[in-house]
Amino acid sequence: MANLSLEALQEELRHQPDWLMVQDLDGVCMPLVLDPLTRVMPAPYIRAAATLQGRFCVLTNGEHAGLRGVNPLVERALAGTANPAEEGLYLPGLAAGGVQWQDRFGQITYPGISDAELATLDALPAKILEGLNQQLTPLLPELTDQERDALFQRTILANPLSPTINLNALFSQLSGDVERQQQLQQRSLALMQNLLAEAEAGDQRGCFFLHLAPNLGSSDGVELPKPAAPGNVGTTDVQFMLRGAVKEAGLLALINDHIARRTGNAPLGEHFNARSAPTGHTELLELCQRSIAVEHMPVLVGVGDTITSEPDGQGGWRRGGSDRGFLTLLQELGNRFGRQNRVVLVDSSAGEVDRPSLQHPELKGLSDPDDPLKPDVLVPGGPDAYVAWFEQLANELGS
């Protein structure tokens, strides 16, 4: 499938005057872990990202700020050696799926989000904890109350913009028990669906949605869970997110910002953001073609790790994954604008979370023979290999 090495990609970029790398975080520049609080971000990677300023940005469903955000990882990695706010060492780009902007000095903005929506999100972690106690306790009879409470605390990610049920700690407790893992998925999703219905019963109809990671695509705008199976736990995260917080819209916001910085003109509008973007894939492509001059479109490099593909039982495929949408859109923008855009897929299967591996010759569980998404570069060495190359890229092509 892939026909380029990282070295060949670097050679291509060496000859491109205008390029932008858009990169996911977890599973790409750091291994996947059961507890986000144990993540470690390499200091050399952070400095390399700063060296590539103007050519590098992040696009993640996680968040910049907060206890489990990325900024504390940057601060810990650089502790005693640098002040990221003064030296511009925070990772610039979009978080929370595309609605949380940050520059390299750590200045954060929330375009298009109301105070009422923020209040709804702020109240959710307590409601999720109450629901976990009611719904999941019967599935964990072997645990003491204290053990169960500790697990539930690790299961709730109280992200300010995307409160999340993360099942990794519970899955680890039930390793090999696929039936109960599936029941955990089903009950957690039902709990979040009830909370979504409650929020929409008031005056916030259409303001939120549930993002599942990984997923099997969507049906009628609703993402489909990937059931746990032997050797692959499937959906681990159920995120309560703001409508419009999808990476495809975030990609356009990043392109708009990049062109504005280079030319002084924002082709999609000065106030364009992920929440004001069209919702459909085709509409996003058409907006770009209508609004962006060909000569201003940069060469794009998209880097992610989370794509899925499973047989649908009817001769077709269910495709999903939180990086699939923006990587596919990035690939299609290259075709529409005559740019040699590249898709880089990093193997995140060697972390603490069971994932399909790039080592499989047919990328089973990740892709399929009819998959429209065609990664150009595979990184079977995972985050360590990617970070080593990223540092080389910055050393040669950074500012």
| Residue whose tokens read 């990169």 | 23
Amino acid occupying residue 283: E
Burial letters for 287-326: b for 16+ Cβ neighbours within 10 Å, e otherwise?
bbeeebeeebbbbbbbbbbbbbbbeeeeeebbbbbbbbbb
Residue 177 CA: distances (Å) to CA of 173, 211, 254, 260, 261: 9, 25, 42, 52, 52
Identify the helix (H) or strand (E) that includes residue 215.
strand 215-219
User: By three-state DSSP, how is residue 100 classified?
Assistant: strand
The DSSP bridge partners found for residue 352 are none
Q: How many other CB atoms are found less than 10 A from the CB of residue 183?
A: 17
Pair 190, 219: CB distance under 8 Å: no
Pair 356, 347: CB distance under 8 Å: no
Pair 36, 2: CB distance under 8 Å: no
Q: How many other CB atoms are found less than 10 A from the CB of residue 114?
A: 12
Residue 291 CA: distances (Å) to CA of 295, 329, 330, 333: 12, 16, 16, 13
**Cα–Cα distance measured from residue 133 to residue 49, given in angstroms and rounded to the nearest whole number:** 41
Amino acid occupying residue 187: R
**Cα–Cα distance measured from residue 332 to residue 326, given in angstroms and rounded to the nearest whole number:** 10
**Cα–Cα distance measured from residue 21 to residue 377, given in angstroms and rounded to the nearest whole number:** 14
For residue 177, the Cα-to-chain-centroid distance in whole angstroms is 28
Amino acid occupying residue 258: H
Q: Check if 384 is active-site.
A: yes
Which of 257, 36, 72 minimizes the C-alpha distance to 154?
A: 36
| Residue whose tokens read 């959906």 | 235
Residues with catalytic roles:
384
